[in-house]
Amino acid sequence: MHACRGVYRVEHGIAVWLDDRAIRFAIVLHADHVVVLKKERRLQLLSRGKVIKAYKVALGSEPVGPKTRQGDHKTPEGLYVLDSRNAHSQFYKSIHISYPSWHDRALARQKGVSPGGDVFVHGLPNGFGAVGAAHRLKDWTDGCIAVTNEEMDEIWRAVPDGTQIEIRP
């Protein structure tokens, strides 16, 4: 295999490499916004308002309605931030969602309950990567958004910390 001489050009999300034998192309995803459509079980990466990639997902085991308290197994709804990542979590990789917001905390306080937390976009549980896309046959998380490990790698590379995530019903 020949080494690349370098990137020739990156334009519209496509990197062009020139090596000794050919010009090679690779898709370079960079998302500036993430949208989750719970009803459709879909996570979309957006750049400048346009969907650049979409993934099928599994949600919390009680997916209808917003998360209102710890232990309800619901995936939150609203605007949050993907604020940190963990390459060594109990799942393949995980990116933290900034739930609960001040609004979520206020609603939980009114009800006298804890809003919960530890909500992530993550891959499959460690040791279960071979399950692959079959994990989407049933919503199974405690309120997180799950994708395959390969999909998590793409999301990991495409979405920087600080990116807004909008979770819709």
Residue 21's pLDDT is: 62
Q: What is the pLDDT along the chain (169 residues), one digit of tens a residue?
A: 444 555 555 555 555 555 656 666 556 789 999 999 999 999 999 999 999 999 999 999 999 999 999 999 999 999 999 999 999 999 999 999 999 999 999 999 999 999 999 999 999 999 999 999 999 999 999 999 999 999 999 999 999 999 999 999 9
Q: How many Å apart are CA 112 and CA 69, to the nearest integer?
A: 9
Query: Residues 6 or more apart from 60 whose CB is under 8 A from it?
Result: 67, 72, 73, 74, 75, 139, 141, 142, 143, 144
Which pair of structure tokens corresponds to residue 126? 């460690």
- Which among 42, 27, 66 has a CA at the least distance from the CA of 147? 42
Residue 28's pLDDT is: 73
Residue 18's pLDDT is: 59
**What is the pTM assigned to this prediction?**
0.84
